[in-house]
Amino acid sequence: MPEKPRYKSETDSKHEPEPLKIRAHHLCCIQGFQGYGYSPAFVANMRAVISDLEALPSRPLRLVTNCDAICVSCPSKRECTAQESHLSRRIKHMDLAVLDKLGIEDGAVLRADEAFQLINSKINSPSDVEDVCRTCKWRQKCIWYVQAGKSLS
Ligand code: SF4
Ligand code: SF4
């Protein structure tokens, strides 16, 4: 039976949607996702987050540098949450690189569609992409990474 998403969906509430917490570098990963991931639960949750954003492109996102709606189902969540772990520092570096290139603060709220447009307009050189993704093991399975490299080479 498919696993249910663990993040709070727009359909969970009749009120205005709360901003969905998304790590800044996950704006890139979402666009590159091709069904690969750390575990079946992670993949199911990633699909659910993406489906929700496709259904409601105006949904507000809070761009953060810590655990988000995608991390909740990741087997590495504990290590990524530990402030002093190597993985935590490495991943946070990706988030900070994205926020720096976007020129926005940690915790800023943007509409999802505007956030994706901003990412693709501001991170638009091979060196920018490498600044964010150089340590990621999923690069060759990530369509955002591969297409950015191709279109810009
Ligand atoms: S290469 Fe890795 S870090 Fe970069 S966008 Fe793809 S999945 Fe995310
Ligand atoms: S590796 Fe870390 S940042 Fe990436 S999804 Fe897992 S917990 Fe989140």
The residue contributing the CA closest to ligand 1 atom 5 is 29
Indicate if the pLDDT at residue 12 is higher than 80: no
User: 53 in a domain, yes or no?
Assistant: yes
How far apart are alpha carbons 126 and 107 in whole angstroms?
A: 26
Ligand 1 pocket test, pick from 49, 138, 141 with the greatest ligand atom count within 8 Å of Cβ, gives 138
- Give per-residue pLDDT as tens, 71-96: 999 999 999 888 788 999 999 999 99
User: 68 in a domain, yes or no?
Assistant: yes
User: 43 in a domain, yes or no?
Assistant: yes
Residue type, 119: I
Domain around 98: 18-147
User: 3 in a domain, yes or no?
Assistant: no
Beta bridge partners of 64: 23
User: 153 in a domain, yes or no?
Assistant: no
- Ligand 1 neighbourhood includes 24 CB (under 6 angstroms): no
Q: What is the pLDDT of residue 102?
A: 96
pLDDT category at 99 given cuts 50, 70, 90 is very high
User: 98 in a domain, yes or no?
Assistant: yes
C-alpha separations of 121 from 87, 89, 104 in Å: 28, 26, 14
